[in-house]
Amino acid sequence: MLSCQAWPEPVVRVQALAESGLSSIPSRYIKPLSQRPSNTFSSTPHQPSQTHHEHLHDHISAHQHANIPVIDLEQLFSKNESVRKEGLKKMAEACSEWGFFHVVNHGVSHELMKSARELWREFFNQPLEVKEEYANSPTTYEGYGSRLGVQKGATLDWSDYFFLHYMPPSVRNQAKWPAFPTSLRKVIAEYGEGVVKLGGRILHTISVNLGLKEDFLLNAFGGESEVGACLRVNFYPKCPQPDLTLGLSPHSDPGGMTILLPDDFVSGLQVRKGDEWITVKPVPNAFIINIGDQIQVLSNATYKSVEHRVIVNSNQDRVSLAMFYNPRSDLLIQPAKELVTKERPALYSPMTYDEYRLFIRLNGTCGKAQVESLTSKSSLQG
């Protein structure tokens, strides 16, 4: 097995760089022209009769109101069948058209969401030496980190993070979680419990929408007490040249599904829709859910994971909490038999999540390269 024991070069904390007051960013963070945020509109051709200004204007007006769908979880579990069916239909459309949706009436206390976000903000605002006590390595990634992947000389993203294992309970080690602010450990545990429970409810509805037994996906992930869950708290510092870099490069999430608590004030998440990047507008007290690569595999690509990225800005830091809800890492994940037919054979071979995520741990985020490398060439175009 490949191992990744250490970072290939000294780790630089992006927040410390940003706070040093520099006016231009180091070349390590400068993305190639084609990947910069300002390149958003370049992929759709001009109509021959249009001026550049008209072309840009058309794009802006076509998408300025676009946002990912909002799903009401209460509707999905309503006792009224027609209400429930309508909700399920909306969610099925969201999963296949966007791979992303907001969820409201989700059952997690708004106060808890707020205090989790604020306590993590306080963690990042502590002196550097306090945070360095939790410095991570690429073996498990657990702790305080500033890069994904171990490729020497790679172009880096403009963000720091804290990564911790939450589920199954056997991998949970509170001693590795921040001791300050003092209530943070307690809040992580409470927040984790609420969000993991929400994940189970969402898996239930996705299974129903796929025509599977309602507990199919939860069982495929190892069952309620054995699913995997890890929390990555992202901190995106202000950036003096936001047009040259990204807070997170384009990627799909390797796991099952992600339950994201975005910053309440600062937007930054962009979701890929065809050739464009749509900036997600915050919805108060909502979580953002997205389909990961493992649901793509289990659903035999009925639902696909969708690329997303994060842009930064020069005025405000941004915090987000991503709970990755994953299959237990040693279970084989493969397309559900019910979704494999003669016309649509299995698109993926069985693989454990442990094997799958090693690719990301070594190479960092690479768009949808990993999941696409698993499909037979002829079957999954478009």
Q: Where do contacts with ligand AKG occur on this chain (CB under 6 A)?
A: 232, 234, 248, 253, 260, 262, 268-269, 308, 310, 320, 322
3-state SS assignment for residue 184: helix
d(CA 244, CA 149): 21
In the bound state with ligand AKG, the residue whose beta carbon lies nearer, of 100 and 177, is: 100
Give min distance, CB of 94 to ligand AKG, in A. Answer: 17
| Lookup result for tokens 């009436």 | 105
d(CA 260, CA 103): 10
d(CA 157, CA 15): 12
In the bound state with ligand AKG, the residue whose beta carbon lies nearer, of 71 and 260, is: 260
What stretches of 136-242 show up as alpha helix (H) in DSSP? Answer: 184-209, 216-220
Give min distance, CB of 86 to ligand AKG, in A. Answer: 29
CA geometry: angle 8, 13, 16, nearest 5 deg:
155
Give min distance, CB of 356 to ligand AKG, in A. Answer: 15
In the bound state with ligand AKG, the residue whose beta carbon lies nearer, of 119 and 288, is: 288
* Cβ proximity of 198 and 188 under 8 Å: no
DSSP string for residues in 59-86? HHHHHTT----EEEHHHHT-SSHHHHHH
Give min distance, CB of 258 to ligand AKG, in A. Answer: 6
Give min distance, CB of 249 to ligand AKG, in A. Answer: 10
DSSP string for residues in 212-240? S-TTHHHHHTT-TTT-EEEEEEEEE---S
In the bound state with ligand AKG, the residue whose beta carbon lies nearer, of 72 and 263, is: 263
d(CA 227, CA 167): 6
Give min distance, CB of 288 to ligand AKG, in A. Answer: 7
3-state SS assignment for residue 361: helix
Give min distance, CB of 324 to ligand AKG, in A. Answer: 8
Give min distance, CB of 185 to ligand AKG, in A. Answer: 21
In the bound state with ligand AKG, the residue whose beta carbon lies nearer, of 4 and 266, is: 266
Give min distance, CB of 219 to ligand AKG, in A. Answer: 25
d(CA 314, CA 311): 11
- CA distances in angstroms from 251 to 59, 224, 254, 257, 349, listed in the order given: 24, 27, 9, 13, 22
In the bound state with ligand AKG, the residue whose beta carbon lies nearer, of 14 and 336, is: 14
In the bound state with ligand AKG, the residue whose beta carbon lies nearer, of 120 and 216, is: 120
- Hey, how many other C-beta atoms are within 10 angstroms of the C-beta on 39? 14
d(CA 247, CA 159): 5
3-state SS assignment for residue 373: helix
In the bound state with ligand AKG, the residue whose beta carbon lies nearer, of 234 and 302, is: 234
d(CA 333, CA 349): 8
In the bound state with ligand AKG, the residue whose beta carbon lies nearer, of 269 and 297, is: 269
